[in-house]
C-alpha cells in the first residue's frame, strides 16, 4: 500500500491512529460502566475490550477517574449532538407535534446505555471523594448543555417567568424515567407519561391552542 | 427494677426485644447503604452499627439480600406513613395551596437518605442477578404505594383521561430531583422547580381557577 498512496509525513496517520484508539477506549469505557458498574470497570478491562494494551490505555488516560469521566463526557457530547441534529426535521416551532417529538427525544437521552453508565458513575462518585468533584463538575456541564438544547428545540422563551423551571422539571422527569428503566424496561408506561407531559408542556409553553 | 414491675410472662419482653433488635438492624442497614453504598454494606458492618452480634443479625435476616431489601421496604413504609399523616393538616382539596404542599412533600420523599439508600440498592441490583428480582418487586410495590398516596393527597380523579399519567410524571420528576441531589444539594433550584410544577399541576388537575 505504501508504494501507491502519495507520500505523507509519518505524523498524520499516527495522530489518526491515536485518535481512533482514544475513541475506542472512551466507547468501551461507557459500555463497560453500563454493563458492569463502577466496581467492575477498571482500566485493564476497558483496554482489553477496546483491543488496546494496558500501556497504551494509560498513555491516553493517566488514571481510572480520567478515563471514565472523559468517557461519559465524550458520549454525552455525541448524544447531545445527535439530539441537536433532530432540529432539522422538526414540525414548526410552537406546534403540539413538535413538543411531542422533542419531549420524546429528550426522554430517550436518559433511557439508553449512556444514562446507565452515567448513573453508575454518579453513584460511585457519591461515595468516593477523588471522583466526586470531577463528576459533579461534569454533571453540571452536561446538565447545562441538555437544558440549552431542550430550550432551543422546544422554542421556549426563557424570558417568560416560569419557563426556565418548566424545562428543568421536564429534564428532571426524564432523569426519573431513566432511573425507572434501570430495573425494568417500562416503555409502554413511559410512552403514556411522555404523551401526557408533552400535552401539558405544549399548553404551558405555547398556550391553549 | 424487676422487683417492682408487675410480673409478666417471659415471652413478652423477649418479643419486644426481638422487635427492637430487628428495627435497629433495619435502620442501621439503610443508613449504612446511604453512606457506604452496596459494596461497603455487609451484614457485619450493619450488626456492629446496630450494636448487635453478627449471629443475632443472621437470626433475623438469613442473607445480605434479605436484610437490605427488608430495610429499604421498612423505611419506605415509614416514610409513606409520614406522608399520609400530612393529609390531616392540608388546605382544602382542589386548592393551589394544597397542591403546592403535596408536591413539596412528595419531592421530599425522594431527596432524603432513604432515596439515597434505595438508589444504591437499585444500581447494585441492576448488575447482580440474585438481588435484581427482589429489588424489582420491591420497587414496584413501593412505587404503586407512592402513586396511591400522591393521588389521594392531591385529590386527583384518575377517571379523567391523562390524570394518572400526570401524577406518574410528577413521581418521575421527584425521582429525577432526588438523583440530582446525589452529588450536590441543589435545594434552591429544586424549590423553584417545585413551585412552578405545583402551579402547572394545579391548573391541570383543578382547572384554571
ipTM of predicted complex: 0.89
How many other C-beta atoms are found inside a 10 Å radius of the C-beta of residue A56? 15
What part of A 6-25 touches B (C-beta under 8 Å)? none
Q: Kindly give the residue spans of alpha helices, DSSP state H, lying in B128-186.
A: 129-154, 163-180
Using CB atoms, which residue from A123, A171, A197 is nearest to B123? A123
Q: What is the mean pLDDT of residues B101-115?
A: 92
Q: Say if the Cβ atoms of B183 and A122 lie within 8 Å.
A: yes
Using CB atoms, which residue from B40, B116, B176 is nearest to A172? B176
Q: What cell numbers appear for B209 in the block?
A: 381557577
Q: Say yes or no to pLDDT of B4 above 70.
A: no
Task: List CB contacts (< 8 A) between A195 and chain B.
Answer: 165
Task: Judge whether A160 is closer than 8 Å to chain B, CB to CB.
Answer: no
Best mutation target, B147, B196, B202, B205, to test chain A (most A CBs within 10 A): B196
DSSP code string of A77-139: HHHHHHHHHGGGGPPPTT-HHHHHHHHHHHHHHTSSHHHHHHHHHHHHHHH-HHHHHHHHHHH
pLDDT of residue A207: 85
What part of A 81-120 touches B (C-beta under 8 Å)? 116, 119-120
pLDDT bracket for residue B58 (50, 70, 90): very high
pLDDT in tens, A120-135: 998 888 888 888 888 9
pLDDT in tens, A66-92: 999 999 999 889 888 888 888 888 999
pLDDT bracket for residue B79 (50, 70, 90): confident
pLDDT of residue B208: 62
Q: What is the mean pLDDT of residues B80-100?
A: 91
pLDDT in tens, B152-162: 999 999 999 99
What part of A 120-149 touches B (C-beta under 8 Å)? 120, 122-127, 132, 135-136, 139-140, 143
Task: Judge whether B36 is closer than 8 Å to chain A, CB to CB.
Answer: yes
pLDDT of residue B6: 52
Q: Tell me whether residue B186 is exposed, middle or buried, using C-beta atoms within 10 angstroms of its C-beta: 0 to 12, 13 to 18, 19 or more.
A: middle
Q: Which chain B residue has its CA at the smallest distance from A120's CA? A: B123
Amino acid at each position: 500500500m505504501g508504494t501507491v498512496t502519495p507520500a505523507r509525513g509519518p505524523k498524520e496517520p499516527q495522530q489518526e491512529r491515536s485518535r481512533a484508539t482514544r475513541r475506542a477506549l472512551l466507547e468501551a469505557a461507557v459500555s463497560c460502566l453500563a454493563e458492569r458498574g463502577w466496581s467492575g470497570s477498571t482500566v485493564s478491562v476497558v483496554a482489553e475490550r477496546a483491543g488496546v494494551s494496558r500501556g497504551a490505555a494509560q498513555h491516553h488516560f493517566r488514571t481510572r477517574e480520567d478515563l471514565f469521566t472523559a468517557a461519559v463526557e465524550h458520549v454525552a457530547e455525541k448524544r447531545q449532538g445527535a439530539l441537536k441534529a433532530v432540529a432539522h426535521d422538526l414540525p414548526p416551532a410552537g406546534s403540539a407535534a413538535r413538543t411531542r417529538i422533542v419531549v420524546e427525544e429528550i426522554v430517550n437521552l436518559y433511557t439508553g446505555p449512556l444514562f446507565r453508565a452515567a448513573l453508575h458513575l454518579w453513584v460511585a462518585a457519591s461515595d468516593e471523594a477523588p471522583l466526586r468533584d470531577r463528576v459533579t463538575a461534569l454533571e453540571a456541564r452536561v446538565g447545562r448543555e441538555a437544558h440549552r438544547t431542550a430550550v432551543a428545540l422546544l422554542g421556549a422563551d426563557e424570558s417568560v417567568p416560569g419557563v426556565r423551571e418548566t424545562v428543568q422539571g421536564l429534564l428532571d422527569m426524564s432523569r426519573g424515567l431513566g432511573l425507572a428503566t434501570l430495573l425494568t424496561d417500562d416503555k409502554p408506561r413511559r410512552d403514556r407519561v411522555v404523551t401526557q407531559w408533552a400535552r401539558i408542556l405544549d399548553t404551558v409553553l405555547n398556550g391553549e391552542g
